[in-house]
Structure 1
């Protein structure tokens, strides 16, 4: 695992080094205000990528426990961002307290101990039933259905769905499980990066201005195809054949796109541009993990049902 991961990490660091050099050159040449702002945003994104790659790569090298702790922290931050923007009432406070300080940690403990049976149903069954029951004790019935739905959506997106990424570590496929996680993250994140680059270079036709004004058809198809190609070439990280890797990476790319698209629709409904501001050039943690929310569960179950030994 170490040698393959080292090769992938070296390739990513090489790409970041090239991107940093290009950003430096563009910054020196940019003169118009619009160009300067675009280059500054690009360089901010690149700086953040250096930090994110270092944190993720370090967690992978430290082992499974470090990865689970990292994703538990990311889920906590994402859930916090979700509720920072989402309206709530005093009657929601107990359910929210339980979401942050009981449901989330218990869910990740189940993941860390590889208790898959309970991990799979803890949030969609037990939290789904218990949290609205607890909320009724406050006696606040104003918009109760909508408020309960927001509690469930927050947990499903930021905790349950995201946790399926580190859950890959419990699968036995004949391939080091950490490489499956690396594969998922690389394909998902490169899809976002390629869509951004293709959109900036060739984007002319807006996909859905009301939901995501920056997304274009050229970016979507060019970036998606590029990420699928990378996913196919990285088949040695997985138990897949090259053809299977192409098919699975297609699922990852499509699911990742709709993850970002759905989260963008929620942001627009909440009159927000970003979920947060902790990642320079990217927004919040949930802005960076929105594609993972849809892609991780699908990838996990594809691998679990068809490729585990």
Structure 2
């Protein structure tokens, strides 16, 4: 098993089996219905293969490479966010400092300095950015620009960096290793999206917030929460230090927060009147389209785990 902790190895194999099944189902559909266009489905599955391959390669190669990998994703997400949200011409010199926060934030992660990690962006960067804006001498649009830069940095750098910090927590489940909590968070978050979608398609009748996301229904939401809560109770003790009942709570937390993360990015897109946040990932849209749920689940799950066992 190439030195991969047993329980993490099982989850990796499970994900690969699911991808193989998805590819075979897509191939069968194309053969059975040649008149239909399955281009988007094919692109989605191919993109999942690439994303999963890069993720597993980074996680399994070394802890340092994995931290750099998540830092690079933060860079892409921040770049994408600032490309779709209008900013002032004068803010370009301020944006530089927002980008500079990425390597510094992930450096705190790499050395395990929790105190600086947790306050660097919401205190120091949040104070630095408006100071730099003031020095430019442009007051028109000041409040709006400050809000955009603060929120963009908070979502794409601070929130997302919690995934990387899971990697440096002391290992308390030897069968899962340092990658276990990360695999648990990522798998539960993405599986939650799938479950809520399937339950919504099968049973969805009552919309929750139709103006934001007309496809989100109470049936899909509650079905997803119930499914993830159950699955997390089983997988939590296998991949993390969590007990089964703590796994249930973590699953519920991930499912509910992932739902709202999706809605928040949907609100951003509706406000900007765009379908996707970008076109980086064929069949999926932009990186924010794939990270939307993680932006909320990552910090909340991290602190639930941290204050439960560290």
Give the TM-score range, shorter chain: over 0.9
* 2-structure distance, mates of 1:91, 1:11: 49
Contact between 1:275 and 1:285, CA under 8 Å: does it hold in 2?
Answer: yes
2:45 corresponding residue in structure 1: 46
2:258 corresponding residue in structure 1: 256
**Structure 2 CA distance for partners of 1:223 and 1:30, relative to 1, 3 Å:** farther
Instruction: Tell me the CA shift for residue 217 of structure 1.
Output: 2.9
1:70 corresponding residue in structure 2: 69
* 1-structure distance, mates of 2:284, 2:223: 21
Q: Secondary structure at the match of 1:164?
A: helix
1:260-275 to structure 2, matched below 5 A, reads 260-275=262-277
1:12 corresponding residue in structure 2: 15
Instruction: Tell me the CA shift for residue 247 of structure 1.
Output: 1.1
Q: Secondary structure at the match of 2:170?
A: coil
1:39-118 to structure 2, matched below 5 A, reads 39-100=38-99, 102-118=100-116
Task: Report the TM-score when normalising by structure 2.
Answer: 0.92
Q: Secondary structure at the match of 2:284?
A: coil
* Deviation readout 1:2-35 (Å, 9 max, x if unpaired): 2221111111111111121112222333477xxx
* Deviation readout 1:95-149 (Å, 9 max, x if unpaired): 101111x211111111112121111111000000011010111111112111101
Q: Which one of 287, 290, 293 corresponds to residue 288 of structure 1?
A: 290
**Structure 2 CA distance for partners of 1:217 and 1:24, relative to 1, 3 Å:** farther
Contact between 1:187 and 1:228, CA under 8 Å: does it hold in 2?
Answer: no
1:237 corresponding residue in structure 2: 239
Q: Secondary structure at the match of 1:214?
A: coil
2:204 corresponding residue in structure 1: 203
Q: Secondary structure at the match of 1:24?
A: helix
Contact between 1:72 and 1:105, CA under 8 Å: does it hold in 2?
Answer: yes
* 1-structure distance, mates of 2:180, 2:154: 25
1:24 corresponding residue in structure 2: 27
The range that moved more, 128-137 or 110-119, is 110-119
2:160 corresponding residue in structure 1: 162
**Structure 2 CA distance for partners of 1:89 and 1:261, relative to 1, 3 Å:** same
1:214 corresponding residue in structure 2: 215
1:246 corresponding residue in structure 2: 248
Q: Which one of 138, 145, 148 corresponds to residue 147 of structure 1?
A: 145
2:127 corresponding residue in structure 1: 129
What is the aligned residue count?
Answer: 303
Q: Secondary structure at the match of 1:215?
A: coil
Gaps of 5+ in 2: none
* 2-structure distance, mates of 1:19, 1:198: 18
**Structure 2 CA distance for partners of 1:197 and 1:45, relative to 1, 3 Å:** farther
* Deviation readout 1:185-239 (Å, 9 max, x if unpaired): 0100111122233333443443322212332333322233222222222121111
**Structure 2 CA distance for partners of 1:41 and 1:214, relative to 1, 3 Å:** farther
Contact between 1:27 and 1:40, CA under 8 Å: does it hold in 2?
Answer: no
